[in-house]
Amino acid sequence: MSNILSETSSLLWFFLSMLSLFIFLAFPIIVNLLSRSNSRSSKDSPPSPSKLPILGNLHQLGTSHHRTLHSLAQTYGPLMLLHFGKVPVLVVSNAEAATEILKTQDHVFCNRPHRKMFDIFWYGSRDVASAPYGHYWRQVKSICVLHLLSTKKVQSFGRVREEEVVGMIEKVRKSCGDSNSMAVNLTDVFSDVTNDIVCRSVIGKRYEASELRGPMSQLEELLGASVLGDYIPWLHWLGRVNGMYGKAERAAKQLDEFLDKVVDEHLGKRGCDDADGEGQNDFVDILLGIQKTSSTTDFQVDRTIMKALIMDMFGAGTDTTLAVLEWAMTELLRHPSAMQKLQYEVRRVAGDRTHITEEDLSDMPYLKAVIKEILRLHPPSPILIPRECMQDTKVMGYDITTGTQVIVNSWAISTDPSYWDQPLEFQPERFLNSSIDIKGHDFNLIPFGAGRRGCPGIAFAMVVNELVLANIVHQFDWAVPDGLLGRHTLDMSETTGLTVHKKLPLVALASPHL
């Protein structure tokens, strides 16, 4: 979820042109300044590449941040200090350093840096993911963990998931018609099913039936092309001049009006006594129930908090799950023997039944190994959501000052050859006899982060990933189409953005198996 470092290319061009002119005119002064600023850094600071005035190291980020930061770390080490504008940014690239940040000193590094776009879309950062650490965050996180995303609650949405998966299979089957095999855009299929599952669980209706599509796609685009002003405050005006803030505010207003309507509909249709009940309450029902009981406690859940939390579920819960499914099918198509093994396992467990149920999943170790391997090789958030240091401290002997932002390069860690054999190869078998887990206890595999700011949506995400993948490979045989479509399908280029997707759509030939 954490590509919040890029600016639009036109903006960067404008800025770099101005900078070139400036450098040309003032070259001698700059050389002097550069050498002074680099030598001025404290003796105990982590190693840093040299930086430009004003931009710091922003110009070195490239388009694929996790990959660029990984190559820089090859030179400067697993704990490296960069500067984005004036902001010091600590980049963490191995498990030892991650353990120090996310476990040993989690209490020091559990703040989130302030971001303009989060303020715009998440009601002044009143959601869980972007709220600063403190009393407020503790309250909203505990609502998430105890009431919205607890194991019991996730289980209670089993029927929603199974209905949506049946619907997905029907859609693919229909598009095959009477033919033996048909090209299916799996990116669209996975996008629909993940959005519908999250939407029905959160607001009680399908994504298609909501007016979310337009403003949500704007949100994704705007978060991916974030704001230079977050690092160089005097450049905030650029976001106004290039229309980025205006666009974000209009999309946020549309989302807000939609969420108001959703809350009103829920208020109209029910009493909300069953806040934690076993029934089919969606998240809005649960939050209304909590609101009712919270009026007598010291933390009141008002309408804005409800809307911010709903937005978190949309923002954090849909795109990440879609990315896992896209990468999983891509790797399986590239590795037919892994596809066969998975189909053999799934079809053995299903017997003569048409659909895989959630109870079946516990008998599918290879399926679980495939998903873990995808989270290792293609973590949807290869760079964790940034943290911020709350007090001066020492990490692995280096001084880190208050306000330093921290980027944990989860992808660099989960492909580090010191912990992983043939780390860039897709080999689900590595997890078959391994106790390594993804829940934030094994620091060489942290796709969901770790510590107090770790992801509360693991159970929700994993069951969706497993159920969708098991059913899609159970019901159909899959092959790579010929020509350009096939080349796109096998292409491994990545998008930039909060969540890293496959850049080109995944289209595969489906042949019904049943």
Is residue 316 close enough to count as binding ligand HEM by CB under 6 A?
yes
Helix axes 458-475, 319-334, angle to 10 degrees: 40
- Can you tell me which of 218, 294, 330, 381 binds ligand HEM, judged by CB under 6 A? 381
For residue 3, the SS3 value is: coil
Q: Which residues contact 484 (CB under 8 A, 6 or more apart)?
A: none
d(CA 304, CA 365): 42
Told to check if 366 binds ligand HEM by CB under 6 A, we report: no
Query: Judged by CB under 6 A, does residue 141 bind ligand HEM?
Result: yes
DSSP per-residue string spanning 21-32? HHHHHTHHHHHH
- d(Cα 444, Cα 96) in Å, to the nearest integer? 8
In this structure, what token pair is assigned to residue 426? 């897709």
Q: Which of 120, 244, 313, 325 binds ligand HEM (CB under 6 A)?
A: 313
User: 238 or 458, CB closer to ligand HEM?
Assistant: 458
Place of tokens 């998008």: 495
Question: Is residue 128 a contact point for ligand HEM (CB under 6 A)?
Answer: yes
Q: Figure out which of the listed residues 46, 78, 215, 380 binds ligand HEM, where binding follows CB under 6 A.
A: 380
- Identify the residue among 113, 317, 382, 428 touching ligand HEM (CB under 6 A): 317
Kindly give the interhelix angle for 27-40 and 9-25, rounded to the nearest 10 degrees.
110
CA-closest candidate to residue 449, choices 111, 37, 1: 1
- Minimum CB separation of residue 182 from ligand HEM in Å reads 28
Q: Which is nearer to ligand HEM, 456 or 497 (by Cβ)?
A: 456
What distance separates the 2 farthest-apart alpha carbons in the chain?
Answer: 78
Q: What minimum distance in Å lies between the beta carbon of 451 and ligand HEM?
A: 6
Residue 204 in the binding site for ligand HEM (CB under 6 A): no
What is the Cα–Cα distance from 252 to 206, expressed in whole angstroms? 20
User: CB 438 → ligand HEM: shortest distance, Å?
Assistant: 9
Q: Is-contact 228 85, C-beta < 8 A?
A: yes
Q: Are 431 and 95 in contact (CB under 8 A)?
A: no
Check whether 455 is labelled as a binding-site residue.
yes
Q: Considering beta carbons, is residue 55 or 364 the nearer one to ligand HEM?
A: 364
Exactly one of 192, 196, 312, 331 binds ligand HEM (CB under 6 A); that residue is 312
Choosing from 89, 248, 272, 324, the residue that interacts with ligand HEM (CB under 6 A) is 324
**Residue closest to 376 by CA, chosen among 447, 468, 455, 286:** 447
Contact status: 129 vs ligand HEM (CB under 6 A): yes
Which of 130, 41, 21, 32 is closest to 83 using CA atoms?
A: 41
Number of residues that bind ligand HEM (CB under 6 A): 28
CB of 390 within 8 A of CB of 110? yes
In the complex with ligand HEM, the residue whose CB is nearer, 184 or 450, is 450
Return the residues of window 434-463 that contact ligand HEM according to CB under 6 A: 447-450, 453-457, 460-461
State which of residues 172, 333, 384, 463 lies at the interface with ligand HEM (CB under 6 A). 384
- Residue 69 contacts ligand HEM per CB under 6 A: no
User: And the tokens for 388?
Assistant: 């911020």
Query: What whole-number distance in Å separates Cα of residue 98 and Cα of residue 206?
Result: 38
Q: How far is the CB of 354 from ligand HEM (least distance, A)?
A: 27
Which residues sit in the known binding site?
Answer: 455
Q: Which spans of this chain sit near ligand HEM (rule: CB under 6 A)? A: 1, 128-129, 141, 144, 149, 312-313, 316-317, 320-321, 324, 380-381, 384-385, 447-450, 453-457, 460-461
Binding residue numbers for heme: 455
